[in-house]
Chains A and B, each alone.
Chain A
Amino acid sequence: MEKESKRRDFLKLTMLGLVTAASSGAAASAQASVAGEKEEPSSGYRETAHVRKYYDLARF
Chain B
Amino acid sequence: MTDRETRTESIAAEDRARAGAWRLLARYLSAAPDADGLAFAAALKGDDSPLGRAISAFAAAAAATSPEEADDEYHALFIGVTRGEIVPHGSYYQTGFLNEKPLARLRADMARLGIAGNADEPDPEDHVAALCDMMGGLILGEYDAPPCASVAREFFQAHLDSWIGVFFRDLERAGAARLYAPLGAMGLALVDIERQAFAMSGGGQAVH
Contacts and interface: CB of A to CB of B under 8 A. Distances in A.
A27 B52 CA distance: 12
Interface in A1-54: 3-4, 6-8, 10-12, 14-22, 25-27, 29-31, 33-37, 40-51, 53-54
A57 B130 contact: no
A34 B26 CA distance: 9
Interface string B9-42: 0001111111111011011011110000000100
Given A22-B17, A45-B115, A46-B130, A7 B197 contact: yes
Interface residues of A, number: 44
B137 to A, nearest CB: 7
A11 B99 CA distance: 34
A54 B89 contact: yes
Contacts of A29: 40
Nearest to A47: B118
Interface residues of B, number: 69
Given A34-B20, A58-B99, A17 B52 contact: yes
B105 interface: no
Interface string B126-144: 0101100110110010110
Contact of B30 (A26, A41, A48, A54): A48
A4 B43 CA distance: 34
18 contacts: A7-B197, A8-B14, A11-B14, A14-B193, A16-B14, A17-B47, A18-B46, A18-B52, A34-B20, A35-B16, A35-B20, A40-B133, A43-B116, A44-B117, A44-B118, A51-B121, A53-B79, A54-B98
Interface of B: 1, 4, 8, 12-21, 23-24, 26-27, 29-32, 40, 43-49, 51-52, 55, 74, 78-79, 83, 87-89, 98-99, 114-119, 121, 123-125, 127, 129-130, 133-134, 136-137, 140, 142-143, 149, 193, 196-198, 200-202
Given A10-B196, A47-B118, A57-B98, 13 more contacts: A3-B202, A15-B14, A15-B51, A18-B20, A21-B44, A30-B43, A35-B16, A35-B136, A41-B118, A47-B123, A51-B121, A54-B124, A57-B83
